[in-house]
Structure 1
Amino acid sequence: MSTEAHRQVHRRAHRDGKERDPTFYPVEKKMGEDSLQTWIVELLRPLIERWYEALGRPRFVGADQFIYYQQFNPSKVVAPDVYVLPGVPPGRRVRSWKVWETGIAPSFALEVVSSDEPYKDYVDAPERYRELGVKELVIFDPDWERGRDRVRWQRYRRLKTRGFVRVETTNVDRIHARVLGCWLRVIGAGEEARLRLATGPEGEELFPTAAEAERAAKEAERAAKEAERAAKEAALERVAALEAQIASAAGARGKGPGAP
């Protein structure tokens, strides 16, 4: 069933009074978060939002909101570190998201492995995202070198024949996110580790942050003005040289045979 068909079903059910739901669905976390996790998310979320704007396909990119995927059962919930809601415009206020109200599940989700409970993201998270219906899940472990059975990147995809399965693991610094259409790439190490978007066949070119794009635009503007100034100076020099040649030629003619 298409997304629009889902929405129509939900609207009809709501109008008919069939979805009176007394269930309490919390909207706030009561637990702390690793500061490294926070720094990674604070950089990456607006980058993904800008990336979709650059593609001409703006959409909502959220972070750390509760997403409930089974009505009347608030234990069926995830809180992705970063996620994308297809068909939802950016700027919408989302306190929590209930999939059954809209028929829309995230197309992409990223989890940064917790330093306190690393195996929660290895074992529990994939099953919950399978139930949620997400198309692609990327799990990043900034502390992957602390355990022999840990890995820097994991990528899960929803495949037609196999369902929601892990399709890639790697310890290199980057991984391609198919839903995003670009690479996720680690910059820095240890407490300085951050995630960036990258483009190119091998993810060799970083997609700029808003600050970097602004600096680049200013530098390009300065370079353009400098080139314009240099071109004007060169043109004036050519005019001066031509005027000197004309004056010299006129003087030579004035000193020729028959001159008074």
Structure 2
Amino acid sequence: MSEARVIELHYRLDPGTDRALETWVLPEVPVPESQPHDRMLDHLKALLFAWVARTSRSAMVARNLAVRWLEKHPQVGIDPDLCLVEPAPPRAEELESLCLWRRGHRAPRLCIEVVSRNHPYKDYGEVHERYAACGVEELWVLDPRRLGPKKLGGPAPLQIWRREPTGVFVRVHHGGGPARSEVLDAWVHPVSGASMRIADDKAGLSMWLTQEEAERAEKEVALAAREAERVQKEAALAAQEAERAEKEAERAEKEAERAQRLELERRVKELERRFK
């Protein structure tokens, strides 16, 4: 059996090339998304929202936000399925596009693309070139449903691209998981079904939770604590009842002994009177 080949990919592109101007034009209408695609991204977005909240970061999490980097050609850009921008740009809640030539607008630190059935070639063939061009720090290409074309190296459940200090965009992971995200200081875990999870550790023992999941888990813990307290109180009451019953039995036994002794004394006295 021949050994598997490992191919290391590096990208360094000029973001203002003719190719970019001709083929990297943002779509005028949103591309339809399947329900599995939508659910997965909603869950990942919720995980990132929870991470931003619990780490008190000044960051924005957005879906399908247009990222533009050429002021003279604003139609050129990319709209990641999901992105993390840190620090958050001014008036982030009202932002329609991230324009990197504007003050306070920076390239996303993390972008996530989920391979779709309708456009698998895009996510395997050239999407990383756009992210290399616009300055993204880290890119995940997720293909949990194994939709990627074989001729482009697919299907791979998880690809991670990362920008090196030299500016080169390097694919550092291609295959299954888990794989480490330097931006999040966490691990990406493909799981059964069309999904991905994020964990603090490689073993996946400390999975991230959405705020809703964390609140539900907190309520379940509180409910379990109340149930344990109820059981403990019932056990204490049962112990008290058992102790009371034991004391009552002892009292009844002593009362019976006393009654028996009195009866015996009465008979003895009666016999003594007869024989006087």
Aligned length: 231
Q: Is residue 191 of structure 2 the alignment partner of residue 187 of structure 1? A: yes
Q: 1:73 to 1:201 in 2, by over 3 A?
A: same
Which of the numbers 133, 136, 152 marks the counterpart of 2:135? 133
What does residue range 143-222 of structure 1 map to in structure 2 within 5 Å?
Answer: 143-144=146-147, 146-148=149-151, 149-150=153-154, 151-161=156-166, 163-170=168-175, 172-189=176-193, 193-222=194-223
Structure 2 equivalent of residue 93 of structure 1? 94
- Alpha-carbon RMSD across the aligned residues, in angstroms, is 3.2
Task: Give the TM-score taking structure 1 as reference length.
Answer: 0.73
Query: Percent of aligned pairs with the same residue?
Result: 29
Please state how far the C-alpha of 1:169 moved relative to its aligned partner. Answer: 1.0
Structure 1 equivalent of residue 230 of structure 2? 229
Maintained 8 Å contact 1:60/1:88 = yes
SS in 1 for 2:196: strand
Q: 1:60 to 1:32 in 2, by over 3 A?
A: same
Q: Which stretches in structure 2 are left out of the alignment for 5+ residues?
A: 1-24, 263-276
Task: Give the TM-score taking structure 2 as reference length.
Answer: 0.70
Q: 1:246 to 1:108 in 2, by over 3 A?
A: same
Distance in 2 of aligned mates of 1:122 and 1:68: 21
Structure 2 equivalent of residue 37 of structure 1? 37
Q: Is residue 83 of structure 2 the alignment partner of residue 80 of structure 1? A: no
Maintained 8 Å contact 1:45/1:82 = yes
Distance in 1 of aligned mates of 2:30 and 2:239: 72
Q: Which stretches in structure 1 are left out of the alignment for 5+ residues?
A: 1-25
Distance in 1 of aligned mates of 2:196 and 2:86: 22
Which whole-Å deviations, capped at 9, do the CAs of 1:160-193 have from their partners, x for residues lacking one? 24622111211x254322212223333343xxx1
What does residue range 38-117 of structure 1 map to in structure 2 within 5 Å?
Answer: 38-57=38-57, 59-88=59-88, 92-101=93-102, 102-117=104-119
SS in 1 for 2:214: helix
Maintained 8 Å contact 1:41/1:82 = yes
Distance in 2 of aligned mates of 1:197 and 1:162: 26
Letter of the 1:178 partner, please give it.
E
Distance in 2 of aligned mates of 1:252 and 1:91: 82
Letter of the 1:153 partner, please give it.
L
Q: 1:28 to 1:42 in 2, by over 3 A?
A: farther
